[in-house]
């Protein structure tokens, strides 16, 4: 069994190191105290515990987690705090959960009942913040019922949520909320959950909201360790490796900059995110068919994925022991030579697979909402394989260097820039504002700049030498924020750009 999610009795275990002198920053402590006080005035008691899960920034490895290739994210300092009091409830009808948000204007409070049997209903059509809690609830209940059998009865809960991960901002506010919710529900039912089980629950849970998500965000939120990047393997099963960022000359920082273009995945998924997942799945089955390979659908992933195809074709050709990079090159060649069309219609795909259009729709287009007439199989698959190669190079550079000199920093930056080019041109998940932010930042001295997260808006990440941070942030202010938002407030500007240090993953804070 993997480690349990830590239970800590002081904020230092979670946030220390974030401030100067390795202390808990004053604003973080104040925010926490405010949540506890608001809880008391709302419900008339102190909370029993606070469940905390952070957002994440992805350093490299975009849109490849759902094809089961490795990615390299890190948790950020902004997070979801969920203060909870357990309410024992003897009713046989189901137990009550009261949930409210500190930002009540935007996120209205709600009362809901946990059914004593059956599943929790989630109304995917009406997108609400509570859906993410319900998603966590659905997965957690299923897990607890399986463990405890029929005797399991959930406890009631009073909950107050405070999140400071910008919503729709590419830092995975959704995963932070799902993970904090599932962890809170486990704790409210006296269950000490392992990180691995929480991850499995949360990946599946977030899909209940209607997005065909991979596992990177939840993994980064749960497993991250302060000061390290998290190298996530998804194939053949999940494992995580904490990768330190070596000392560098000049000193290195990761800057996160918002585009303030909101891309709400739960709404746009059918034409953006889900469509990309489907395109990768279709590329996999078409490649397999054209290479005469039979793939087993894989329950742990999304059915059929490119990493599985790589494994099977390498096995078939007796090349499984070849270096990973050589294997990637072979698959890239196969993609270029066999997926010749610019785009494939349902009919094209049906013909290749030797099934009807109705069958294609049933098997590949009905699990999650998707809207498209044709599918760019070659381009999407190429991005995935080339990006998988860049991730390995990035990680290897970090783990094999005692110190990062100028040449290595330039190389890491170049890998990130290539990712951005690929996201813009081949995967088509960037947007003009993100492209612009990246050019401004590189001109002002960043080694590398790219979108982070799903894209189509949201957030960017920049590899910047310490001595260029001011030049980069000044240029972004002048050439992007002030231009696009002439009346932008100081507060908003502060939120727009943050220097991020890798932070701690999920924890339960008890008695602080």
Residue positions annotated with a catalytic role? 217
Q: Which long-range contacts (CB under 8 A, 24 or more apart) does 353-361 make?
A: 353/285, 353/286, 353/289, 354/289
By CB under 5 A, is residue 253 in contact with Mg ion?
A: no
Q: Which of ligand NG1, Mg ion, none does residue 62 bind (CB under 5 to 8 Å by kind)?
A: ligand NG1
Cα separation, 176 vs 206, whole angstroms: 10
CB of residue 179 to ligand NG1, shortest distance in Å: 10
Rule CB under 6 A: is residue 172 a binding residue for ligand NG1?
Answer: yes
| Nearest CB to ligand NG1, comparing residues 204 and 293 | 204
Token pair of 310 as six digits: 């790589």
Q: List the single partner that 214 binds among ligand NG1, Mg ion, none, CB under 5 to 8 Å by kind.
A: ligand NG1
Pick the closer one to Mg ion by CB: 172 or 274. Answer: 172
Q: Quick check: 174 binds Mg ion (CB under 5 A)? A: yes
State the nearest-atom distance from the C-beta of 214 to ligand NG1, in Å. Answer: 3
Alpha-carbon distance of 109 to 91, in angstroms, equals 23
The residue among 457, 461, 448, 464 whose CA lies nearest residue 415 is 448
Three-state DSSP at 415 gives: helix
- For 303, the token pair is 């059915």
Interface residue with ligand NG1, options 57, 72, 175, 187 (CB under 6 A)? 175
For tokens 């990440």, what's the residue?
Answer: 461
> 265 or 408, CB closer to ligand NG1?
265
Q: Quick check: 502 binds ligand NG1 (CB under 6 A)?
A: no
Residue 503 near Mg ion by CB under 5 A: no
76 binds ligand NG1 (CB under 6 A): no
- One character per residue 117-156, x = contact with Mg ion (rule: CB under 5 A): ----------------------------------------
Taking the complex as a whole, how short is the minimal distance between the CB of residue 256 and Mg ion, in angstroms? 15
Beta carbon nearer to ligand NG1, 51 or 213: 213
CA 388 to chain centre: 17
The site for ligand NG1, by CB under 6 A, has a size of 18
Task: Give the chain's count of helices (H) and strands (E).
Answer: 18, 17
Both structure tokens of 463: 């590899």
Residue 66 binding ligand NG1, by CB under 6 A: yes
Cβ neighbors of 130 (< 8 A, separation 6 or more) are 99, 110, 112
First CA to last CA across the chain, in angstroms? 28
Q: How many CB atoms lie within 10 A of CB 183?
A: 31
Residue 192's contacts (CB-CB under 8 Å, 6 or more residues apart) are 4, 5, 7, 186
Q: How far apart are CA 1 and CA 236, in angstroms?
A: 17
Measured from the CB of residue 232, what is the shortest distance to ligand NG1 in angstroms? 10
Indicate whether 265 belongs to the interface with ligand NG1 (CB under 6 A): yes
Could you say whether residue 164 binds Mg ion (CB under 5 A)? no
Q: Checking phi first, is residue 347 left (phi over 0); if not, alpha (psi -120 to 50) or beta?
A: alpha
| Binds Mg ion (CB under 5 A): choice among 101, 131, 140, 172 | 172
Q: Which is nearer to ligand NG1, 172 or 417 (CB)?
A: 172
Instruction: Select from 109-117, 210-218, 283-291, 300-308 the region that touches ligand NG1 (CB under 6 A).
Output: 210-218
Contact footprint for ligand NG1 (CB under 6 A): 58, 62-63, 65-66, 170, 172, 174-175, 206, 211, 213-214, 216-217, 265, 453-454
Contact footprint for Mg ion (CB under 5 A): 172, 174
């Amino acid at each position: 069994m993997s480690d349990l999610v830590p239970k800590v009795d002081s904020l230092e275990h979670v946030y220390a190191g974030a401030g100067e002198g390795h202390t808990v920053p004053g604003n973080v402590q104040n925010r926490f105290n405010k949540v506890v006080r608001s809880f008391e005035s709302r419900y008339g008691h102190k909370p029993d515990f606070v469940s905390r899960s952070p957002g994440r920034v992805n350093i490299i490895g975009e849109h490849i987690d759902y094809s089961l290739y490795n990615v390299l994210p890190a948790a950020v300092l902004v997070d979801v705090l969920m203060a909870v009091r357990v309410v024992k409830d003897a009713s046989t009808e189901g137990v009550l959960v009261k949930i409210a948000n500190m930002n009540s204007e935007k996120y209205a409070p709600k009362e809901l009942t946990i059914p004593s049997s059956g599943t929790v209903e989630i109304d995917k059509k009406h997108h609400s913040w509570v859906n993410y809690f319900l998603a966590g609830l659905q997965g957690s209940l299923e897990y607890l019922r399986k463990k405890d059998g029929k005797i399991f009865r959930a406890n009631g809960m009073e909950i107050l949520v405070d999140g400071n991960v910008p919503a729709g901002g590419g830092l995975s506010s959704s995963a932070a909320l799902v993970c904090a919710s599932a962890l809170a529900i486990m704790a409210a039912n006296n269950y000490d959950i392992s990180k691995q089980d929480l991850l499995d629950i949360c990946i599946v849970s977030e899909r209940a909201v209607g997005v065909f998500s991979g596992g990177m965000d939840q993994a980064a939120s749960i497993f991250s360790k302060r000061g390290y990047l998290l190298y996530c393997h998804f194939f053949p099963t999940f494992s995580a490796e904490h990768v330190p960022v070596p000392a560098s000359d000049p000193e290195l920082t990761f800057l996160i900059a918002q585009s303030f273009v909101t891309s709400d995945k739960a709404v746009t998924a059918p034409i953006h995110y889900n469509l990309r997942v489907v395109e990768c799945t279709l590329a996999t089955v078409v490649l397999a068919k054209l290479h005469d390979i039979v793939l087993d659908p894989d329950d742990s992933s999304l059915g059929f994925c490119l990493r599985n195809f790589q494994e099977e074709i390498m096995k078939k050709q007796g090349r499984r022991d070849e270096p990973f990079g050589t294997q990637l090159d072979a698959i890239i060649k196969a993609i270029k030579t066999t997926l010749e069309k610019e785009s494939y219609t349902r009919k094209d795909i049906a013909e290749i697979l030797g099934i009807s259009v109705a069958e294609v729709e049933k098997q590949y287009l009905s699990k999650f909402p998707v809207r498209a007439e044709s599918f760019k199989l070659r381009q999407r698959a190429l991005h995935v394989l080339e990006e998988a190669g860049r991730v390995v190079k990035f990680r290897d550079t970090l783990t094999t260097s005692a110190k990062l000199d100028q040449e290595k920093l330039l190389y890491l930056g170049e890998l990130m820039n290539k990712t951005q080019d690929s996201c813009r041109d081949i995967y088509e998940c960037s947007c003009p504002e993100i492209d612009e932010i990246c050019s401004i930042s590189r001109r002002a001295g960043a080694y590398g700049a790219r979108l982070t997260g799903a894209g189509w808006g949201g957030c960017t990440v920049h590899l910047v030498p310490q001595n260029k941070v001011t030049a980069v942030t000044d240029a972004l202010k002048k050439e992007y924020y002030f231009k696009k938002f002439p009346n932008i407030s100081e507060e908003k500007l502060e939120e727009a750009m943050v220097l991020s240090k890798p932070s701690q993953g999920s924890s339960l804070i008890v008695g602080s």
